Amino acid sequence: MLGGRGRARARLLAIFGVMELRIEITGEIVERQELLNGTQTITIEGADAAGDWALVGALSWNLGLVEYEGEGDLTLTRADGAEIFATLVRADVAEAGDGIEDADHTFRLTYEIDGGAGAFLDATGAGSAQGTLAGDAFHGAWSLRLAAPLAA
């Protein structure tokens, strides 16, 4: 949920046809697959702490056995039913290093926003996410920059 300054910034950007969102989401890894070539695929579901946004998505990556930028998609759904659709452009996933507690892997994701529903019907833009995977859980921050006629 946006605070006073964040809300004013979102309104100002919306006037110029741009909306920026930053959403922290925590959730579960609901499905996991690993192929013989080292490619891993997970399906995730989660929500922000306020319950304003829900996320469902899939992503895949390879931990260095073959050249692979990753693939996947996600849907972010706002509490009023408006949705943002995005396609994964790149997934950089690594084993968690020193100084990162309670995580098996870290991730940096890049998305292309390619539509939506409701207020985000014609949304386009770009997004990124970074966070951690720990057992069957994940936590991350998704940053989105939307450009289109938005009725947000």
pLDDT in tens, 64-107: 765 667 789 999 999 999 999 999 998 888 777 766 677 788 89
Q: Looking at residue 95, what is its pLDDT? A: 79
Judged against a pLDDT cut of 60, whether residue 13 lies above it is answered with: no
What does pTM read for this prediction? 0.82
Between residues 100 and 46, the one the model is more confident about: 46
> Which of 16-20, 98-102, 113-117 is predicted with the least confidence, judged by mean pLDDT?
98-102
Judged against a pLDDT cut of 60, whether residue 61 lies above it is answered with: yes
Q: Looking at residue 39, what is its pLDDT? A: 87
> Are 104 and 89 within 8 A, CB to CB?
no
Nearest by Cα to 21 from 103, 119, 106, 90:
119
Mean pLDDT of 22-47: 93
3-state secondary structure the chain: CCCHHHHHHHHHHHHCCEEEEEEEEEEEEEEEEECCCCEEEEEEEEECCCCCEEEEEEEEEECCCCCCCCEEEEEEEECCCCEEEEEEEEEEEEECCCCCCCCCEEEEEEEEEEEEEHHHCCCEEEEEEEEEEECCEEEEEEEEEEECCCCC
Q: Looking at residue 67, what is its pLDDT? A: 60
Q: Looking at residue 151, what is its pLDDT? A: 55
Between residues 99 and 27, the one the model is more confident about: 27
Q: Looking at residue 143, what is its pLDDT? A: 96
pLDDT in tens, 119-152: 999 899 999 999 999 999 999 999 999 985 555 5
